[in-house]
Structure 1
Amino acid sequence: MAASDQLLVVIDPVARRDDGESVRIAKDVLSAGAAVKVCLPDSPDEFDRALARRGSRRPVVVGDDRALLRAVTALHRQRELADCAVSLVPVGGALALARSLGVPTGAVAAARAVLDGAERRLDLLVDDSDGVVLGDLRIPPVSGDERVVPADSASPWLRTCRSLVRTLAARPARTAPAPGPGPARLRVEADGVTLVDLDQPVRAVSVAPGAAGGACVEIRPASVGAEAAPVRAVARTITVSGADFRYRADALTSGPVRTRTWTVRQRAWGLTLPGGD
């Protein structure tokens, strides 16, 4: 049997808990078309070790956007990302990244794409702390993103305790909602060229892998009166610095940091998708 017909199916614990039926369907379809070894990690460390020990098997992740990000991050840090294509069967509620990448979101269609699809090489953003970005990043995070944490970091007893604490701490809803993030003072550099400096407050900065090995940068300056036109650029290296800031990369919010540099790695990772490249 060819190595391409041998799969390591890593099933995220959140997917197993939240949608066991979709997980079962995915396993059945994959097992009918390939030699499958199933791994059921209960922690991020077990998840990473499973990928490190996969041998010649193709890795297939059954889970949501965070599970995909965890797999790509692990393979990147193991310096094995260039040598294998990652496959995803999306299961869970956070699937915006999967949709944007072109992965079918139905369990049957996604599993069939794993078996019959083709590898597509995609660009990757890598930061100076060895973190990766598959889709896009935003500064500051969209309102409410700071509360998002990896779901498997909270065990059932901890979620119960948190629920109890929230109940005991409840108060009549008399205060107004907290305002969204205000303008930030940041220096944004694209390939060494300063696009906006600390003297110009900005509402938002977004960066996403683009075409031909460059990242698309968009800066929305803060303004009084008429809305200022956004500043756009395409660059291979983007550095953001200034006062402590948080940023959302794919499904996770990180920070605060004072400076961060992202570099485009062209065609750095492969994703199995329906059809050809």
Structure 2
Amino acid sequence: MSAPDIAAHGTRQRPGQLLVVIDPQARRSDGESVRIAKDVLCAGAPAKICVPDTPEEFARALARRGHRRPVVIGDDRALLRTVALLHRERELDAGALAFVPVGGVAELALARALGVPVGAVAAARAVLDGVVRRLDLLVDDSDGVVLGGARVPAPVPEPAAGARPIGPSVWGACRSLVRGLVHPTGPADAEPEGHRLRVEADGELLNDLDRPVERVTVRPGADGRADVVIRLPGAEEPLRARAGSVTVSGADFHYTADNRVAGPVRTRTWALRPQAWSLVLPAARGTQRT
């Protein structure tokens, strides 16, 4: 379910007391945005401010939140760390989480995908006046959480022994042209073979090791199932499926989960947990306060 669809079904609530946890990286990267967000939050609701210096202090502050609604100020990593901590403590369903993104563009890709405003003022106001929306979650077989999606890309070919990068130059361009004329269909022009991966969705075999794949993507979908997309080398259309559980296995492979590189592993299973956590997001126009 997309962010606008979820917004239409959200529940708008008064923020009550807040526990504002400021990630150390946010203070270092953009202290001014942190100050602005803190001022807006404190002006709109009673708030306790926590400024942890280590991950351990971050976890302790979150564990001692009591009845206060947690508000995390930081980048995507801070949000992921918070959800992972609450998942490990089996407290994701104890209440809604709020998030004020602070960081560079690359560090806030997940926030944007979830529909969180990336401006300090807009995000803080959404914390105070937004709606609580239930969101799906992927949990892997090592108890890791994935909010946006996981992807197994094709491996990057290793450079030949002794090879070194060549900068752009007229001589380099001439050599490339000559190589193309002499060897127009040489190995350098061949497409990568891809991964030899076995992909199963709810126990049904979608792809076996005899057919290489270019990329496998798993992300929360709709109706309590995950969307699975398998791209095959040379194929115009990918294979698509929807399932509650997806297993990818094969030779050692790396994967990305919410833009973080993980692995290598030989097998990984992701299971969808429908509406497993709650996030405060901007209210849709016309949503009524309850």
TM over 0.5: yes
Which residue does 1:112 correspond to in 2? 125
- CA offset at residue 229 of structure 1? 2.6
Q: Mind listing any 5+ residue stretches in structure 2 that lack a counterpart?
A: 1-12, 157-163, 169-190
Q: Aligned pair in 2 of structure 1 residues 56, 182: CA closer, same or farther (>3 Å)?
A: farther
TM-score, structure 1 as length reference: 0.82
- CA offset at residue 271 of structure 1? 0.4
- CA offset at residue 71 of structure 1? 0.6
Corresponding residue to 1:211 among 222, 238, 257: 222
Q: Aligned pair in 2 of structure 1 residues 181, 56: CA closer, same or farther (>3 Å)?
A: farther
Residue 220 (str. 1) matches residue 228 (str. 2): no
Which residue does 1:40 correspond to in 2? 51
Q: In structure 1, what is the Cα distance between the partners aligned to 2:119 and 2:29?
A: 15
Given that 1:66 and 1:251 are in contact with CA atoms closer than 8 Å, whether structure 2 keeps it comes out as no
Q: In structure 1, what is the Cα distance between the partners aligned to 2:14 and 2:230?
A: 45
Which residue does 2:110 correspond to in 1? 97
- CA offset at residue 97 of structure 1? 0.9
Matched to 1:5, the amino acid is G
Which residue does 1:54 correspond to in 2? 65
- CA offset at residue 38 of structure 1? 1.2
Q: In structure 2, what is the Cα distance between the partners aligned to 1:181 and 1:25?
A: 49
Report the count of equivalent residues: 243
Q: Aligned pair in 2 of structure 1 residues 34, 57: CA closer, same or farther (>3 Å)?
A: same
Q: Aligned pair in 2 of structure 1 residues 32, 260: CA closer, same or farther (>3 Å)?
A: same
Q: Aligned pair in 2 of structure 1 residues 243, 228: CA closer, same or farther (>3 Å)?
A: farther
Matched to 2:18, the amino acid is L
Corresponding residue to 2:258 among 250, 254, 261: 250
Q: In structure 2, what is the Cα distance between the partners aligned to 1:256 and 1:10?
A: 33
Alignment of 1:4-43 (within 5 A): 4-43=15-54
- CA offset at residue 141 of structure 1? 7.7
Given that 1:187 and 1:196 are in contact with CA atoms closer than 8 Å, whether structure 2 keeps it comes out as yes
Higher mean alpha-carbon deviation, 128-137 vs 33-42, is at 33-42
Q: Aligned pair in 2 of structure 1 residues 48, 189: CA closer, same or farther (>3 Å)?
A: same
Q: Mind listing any 5+ residue stretches in structure 1 that lack a counterpart?
A: 144-171
Given that 2:150 and 2:255 are in contact with CA atoms closer than 8 Å, whether structure 1 keeps it comes out as yes
Moved over 4 A (4+): none
Paired residue secondary structure (2:195): coil
Higher mean alpha-carbon deviation, 231-240 vs 180-189, is at 180-189
Which residue does 1:259 correspond to in 2? 267
Which residue does 1:69 correspond to in 2? 80
Which residue does 1:233 correspond to in 2? 241
Q: In structure 1, what is the Cα distance between the partners aligned to 2:27 and 2:246?
A: 38
Matched to 2:43, the amino acid is A
Which residue does 1:162 correspond to in 2? none
Paired residue secondary structure (1:5): coil
Q: Aligned pair in 2 of structure 1 residues 182, 25: CA closer, same or farther (>3 Å)?
A: farther
Q: In structure 1, what is the Cα distance between the partners aligned to 2:154 and 2:212?
A: 16
Q: In structure 2, what is the Cα distance between the partners aligned to 1:201 and 1:72?
A: 34
Paired residue secondary structure (2:266): strand
CA RMSD of aligned residues (A): 2.3
Q: In structure 2, what is the Cα distance between the partners aligned to 1:130 and 1:41?
A: 25
Which residue does 1:273 correspond to in 2? 281
Residue 81 (str. 1) matches residue 87 (str. 2): no
- CA offset at residue 228 of structure 1? 4.6
Matched to 2:30, the amino acid is D
- CA offset at residue 3 of structure 1? 9.2
Paired residue secondary structure (1:95): helix
Q: Aligned pair in 2 of structure 1 residues 95, 257: CA closer, same or farther (>3 Å)?
A: same
Paired residue secondary structure (1:85): coil
Deviation string 1:10-43 (CA, Å, 9 cap, x unpaired) is 1111110010000000000000011111111222
Structure showing greater Rg: 2
Corresponding residue to 2:135 among 122, 126, 146: 122
Residue 132 (str. 1) matches residue 145 (str. 2): yes
Given that 1:3 and 1:58 are in contact with CA atoms closer than 8 Å, whether structure 2 keeps it comes out as no
